[in-house]
């Protein structure tokens, strides 16, 4: 039994974790049987040279029980006996739960992760190891099924995971292939001491009801292989998800229009051309970058975002976690509650030919010979981020700036002069996009309200001899 479990964990590392021999692993040990078993198995693998790493034991005291200090002492003593460095942190979960209006479970998870990352950085560890096992994975799958989930939820607990907030640290689950009954048998065989958390028996928590009621009933009615079948399901869904992630990563550079602190803009027409699974993966990717938690995102939220992206572009919606989604003609914008109100614009000079950066935009300018290009082909294939102007109708110097109150121009295709603000609002352009409009001017006035409309006087005509091409691109300042 002992050698079998140790071999299973060694195989986990061979299959899931690529070690270079220079890593240090922080072992998250609560004091329960699962984490105590992980502590001793990992130490045995290190001691016998099967995993070439350094180990550090760590404990987080959540202060939710009057006797939680005994958990700390047990872990500290076991780390001492094994000769491992030991770190600990104390967090106030109840206080955090009240302040943030989160459940105790969610508040504990937030503080625990932050404390583990803090200790990992202190100990120069690039990996944090937690004691999630096969039973935890089965409970997670059933919990998500009851809430309503797609194939992504059926991936279950990931063997290795990174958080966008801490990209330098990987979280691994080396006991994920091992059942709880095997872990308990290992602890008894090795005469290990562990602590029982009585809250794990309270059926007020949905997860505990799944553990103590639903799973035993399923095993009784359908046989003891339920957890094995759920593990197979999660592995297959993870394989499918990896394929979708690969396709999403390939599409991402073309998809993103602009990225600033607290705000990401996607190319809406292109977004809508992808299959639904890739669109949903795109949404998740954006929310992770913006540090918006996914735990409260439900199927209805994803469906609402997909509907907004494919329907009336002037709609907006709010998501859990303080994120707003805004649809426009060309963009699907995700903006955090505490994100930027608008991007800072300094007035910038532009040379033609040449390039410059202003606000969230990079602009490139070049001169084309009318006889060497095809305007009809340009019009067929252009998007709103590139325009052609008649070089003889514009006069330097050229400047880039944000729009100002009272700005006026003659929009191409419309009659007469219009206020820029009224032009934008009457066009159904969301306020968040209006704030980041780029105004490009010459000595005579505005030549382009980018990326929406050029001025009438600058349009090319059959008499045009030289063409100025202006091309703006999103500029990431983070």
Q: Does a structural domain hold residue 185?
A: yes
Sorted by sequence, the CB contacts under 8 Å of residue 92 that are 6+ apart come out as: 63, 111
Domain end residue (candidates: 303, 336, 369): 336
User: What integer pLDDT is reported at residue 339 of this predicted model?
Assistant: 54
Q: Does a structural domain hold residue 147?
A: no
330 shares its domain with 359? no
The DSSP H or E segment spanning 475 is: none
Q: Does a structural domain hold residue 164?
A: no
318 shares its domain with 360? no
User: What integer pLDDT is reported at residue 344 of this predicted model?
Assistant: 56
282 shares its domain with 405? no
264 shares its domain with 407? no
305 shares its domain with 352? no
CATH code assigned at 300: 3.30.465.60
379 shares its domain with 272? no
What string of H, E and C letters represents the secondary structure of 229-268? HHHHHHHHHHHHHHHHHHHHHHHHHHHEEEEECCEEEEEH
- What is the domain count for the chain? 3
The C-alpha torsion from 402 through 408 and 409 to 413, rounded to 10°, is: 110
Instruction: Tell me the β-bridge partners of 90.
Output: 61
* Cα gap 140→82, rounded to integer Å: 32
Domain carrying residue 291: 253-336
Q: Does a structural domain hold residue 143?
A: no
CATH code assigned at 189: 3.40.50.620
User: What integer pLDDT is reported at residue 340 of this predicted model?
Assistant: 44
Cα four-point dihedral sign 95, 101, 105, 110: negative
353 shares its domain with 280? no
Per-residue pLDDT of the chain (478 residues; tens, 9 = 90+): 667 899 999 999 999 988 888 899 999 999 999 999 999 999 999 999 999 999 999 999 999 888 888 999 999 999 999 999 999 999 999 998 888 888 888 889 999 999 999 999 999 999 999 999 999 999 999 998 888 787 888 999 999 998 877 889 999 999 999 999 999 999 999 999 999 877 667 667 788 899 889 989 998 898 888 888 999 999 999 999 999 999 999 999 888 887 776 788 899 999 999 999 999 999 998 988 887 877 778 888 899 999 999 886 667 888 888 888 988 778 898 988 655 444 556 788 888 988 888 877 889 999 999 899 998 888 888 888 899 999 999 998 899 998 888 899 999 988 889 999 889 888 877 776 777 789 999 999 999 999 899 999 999 999 999 999 999 886 654 3
Sheet holding 348-350, edge to edge: 348-350, 398-402, 438-442, 445-450, 453-454
Domain end residue (candidates: 301, 336, 371): 336
CATH code assigned at 395: 3.50.40.10
Cα four-point dihedral sign 227, 231, 234, 236: negative
DSSP 213: I
User: What integer pLDDT is reported at residue 440 of this predicted model?
Assistant: 94
282 shares its domain with 332? yes
Q: Does a structural domain hold residue 239?
A: no
Domain end residue (candidates: 305, 336, 367): 336
* Cα gap 222→231, rounded to integer Å: 16
User: What integer pLDDT is reported at residue 103 of this predicted model?
Assistant: 83
* Cα gap 129→144, rounded to integer Å: 23
Sorted by sequence, the CB contacts under 8 Å of residue 198 that are 6+ apart come out as: 65
User: What integer pLDDT is reported at residue 313 of this predicted model?
Assistant: 60
Q: Does a structural domain hold residue 393?
A: yes
Q: Does a structural domain hold residue 161?
A: no
* Cα gap 318→26, rounded to integer Å: 38
69 shares its domain with 200? yes
Kindly provide the residue ranges of all beta strands, DSSP E only, lying in 103-202, ordered along the sequence.
127-129, 160-163, 166-172
12 shares its domain with 100? yes
364 shares its domain with 310? no
Q: Does a structural domain hold residue 410?
A: yes
197 shares its domain with 56? yes
């Amino acid at each position: 039994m002992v050698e079998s479990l140790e071999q299973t964990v060694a195989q986990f590392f061979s299959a899931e974790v690529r070690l270079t021999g220079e890593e240090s692993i922080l072992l998250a040990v609560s004091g329960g049987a699962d984490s105590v078993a992980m502590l001793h198995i990992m130490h045995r693998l290190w001691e016998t040279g099967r995993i070439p790493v350094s180990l550090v034991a760590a404990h987080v005291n959540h202060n939710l029980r009057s006797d939680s200090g005994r958990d700390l002492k047990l872990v500290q003593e076991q780390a001492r006996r094994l000769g491992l460095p030991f770190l600990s942190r104390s967090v106030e979960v109840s206080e955090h739960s009240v302040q943030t209006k989160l459940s105790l479970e969610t508040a504990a998870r937030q503080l625990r992760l932050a404390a583990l990352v803090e200790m990992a950085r202190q100990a120069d560890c690039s990996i944090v190891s937690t004691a999630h096992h096969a039973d935890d994975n089965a409970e997670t799958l059933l919990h998500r099924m009851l809430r309503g989930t797609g194939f992504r939820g059926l991936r279950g607990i990931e063997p290795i995971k990174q958080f966008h907030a801490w990209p330098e640290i990987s979280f691994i689950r080396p006991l994920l292939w091992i059942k709880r009954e095997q872990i308990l048998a290992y602890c008894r065989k090795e005469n290990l001491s562990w602590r029982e958390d009585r809250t794990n028996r309270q059926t007020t928590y949905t997860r505990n009801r799944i553990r103590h009621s639903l799973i035993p009933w399923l095993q009784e009615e359908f046989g003891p292989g339920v957890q094995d079948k759920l593990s197979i399901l999660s592995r297959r869904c993870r394989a499918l998800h990896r394929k979708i992630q690969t396709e999403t990563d390939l599409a991402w550079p073309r998809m993103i229009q602009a990225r600033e602190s607290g705000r990401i803009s996607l190319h809406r027409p292109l977004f809508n051309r992808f299959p639904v699974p890739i669109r949903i993966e795109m949404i998740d990717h954006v929310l992770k970058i913006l540090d918006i938690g996914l735990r409260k995102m439900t199927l209805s939220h994803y469906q609402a975002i997909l509907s907004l992206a494919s329907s009336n572009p002037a709609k907006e919606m709010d998501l859990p976690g303080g994120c707003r989604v805004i649809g426009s003609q060309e963009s699907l914008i995700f903006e955090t509650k505490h994100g930027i109100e608008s991007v800072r614009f300094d007035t910038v000079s532009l040379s033609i030919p040449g390039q410059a950066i202003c606000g969230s935009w990079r602009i490139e300018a070049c001169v084309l010979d009318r006889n060497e290009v095809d305007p009809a082909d340009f019009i067929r294939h252009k998007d709103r981020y590139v325009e052609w102007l008649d070089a003889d109708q514009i006069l330097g110097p050229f400047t880039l700036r944000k729009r100002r109150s009272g700005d006026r121009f003659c929009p191409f295709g419309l009659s007469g002069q219009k206020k820029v603000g009224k032009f934008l609002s009457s066009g159904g352009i969301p306020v968040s996009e209006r704030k980041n409009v780029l105004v490009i001017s010459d000595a005579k006035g505005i030549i382009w309200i980018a990326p929406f409309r050029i001025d009438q006087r600058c349009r090319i005509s059959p008499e045009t001899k030289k063409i100025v091409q202006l091309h703006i691109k999103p500029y990431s300042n983070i």
